[in-house]
Amino acid sequence: MTQSEEKMHFKLWHNGRYKRFTVSPDCDGVLSSIRKKVSKICGTEEFSLNWMDEDAPIALEDEDDLETAIDFSKRTKKHGSCPCVLLSIVEKNEEDTTESTGSSQQDEEEEESAEGTIYNSMDNSRDFRFTMKHVKFCREAEHVD
């Protein structure tokens, strides 16, 4: 199989299960295709997309980010397996959306306290709470190695 015939593999943790999908690297707008597939899986278009390295979620916002994620998955793949980019999302909850009041300080405070949920594709026993300043890990269940 030639390089252009190979598909890129992605894995997303959502609603208590993993969903794996592929995207052709030859299609126009690869990142757009990924976002559409994730949107279909999650049932929302209101999310931020991240890829996972060994430490934390990293924003997946443009083609350069995607290239970095794919390179990472190729370098860290298990012997005999195909490279797979692990994805997570931050859902933008409607109740976290506020209307602008004209006060920039108040808007900044509201942005800093906005929360969403990151579905971790590496460890299904964690629930991540996201704020604009930090990521805090909250265990839902004990992790079993």
Domain residues for the domain of 20 are 3-138
Q: What's the total number of domains in the chain?
A: 1
Position of tokens 């990521």? Answer: 135
Tokens describing residue 19: 């969903």
Indicate whether 65 belongs to any domain.
yes
User: What tens digit of pLDDT does each residue of 95-104 get?
Assistant: 454 443 344 4
**Stronger pLDDT, 97 or 41, i.e. the higher one:** 41
Using DSSP, state whether 90 is helix, strand or coil: strand
Residue 37: pLDDT band with limits 50, 70, 90: very high
Measured in whole angstroms, how far is the alpha carbon of residue 69 from the centre of its chain? Answer: 11
Tokens describing residue 101: 């009041």
User: What tens digit of pLDDT does each residue of 73-84 get?
Assistant: 999 988 888 899
Indicate whether 145 belongs to any domain.
no
Indicate whether 144 belongs to any domain.
no
Report the CATH number at residue 88.
3.10.20.90
Indicate whether 101 belongs to any domain.
yes
Which phi and psi angles does 83 have, rounded to 5°? -65, 140
The model's pTM is 0.61
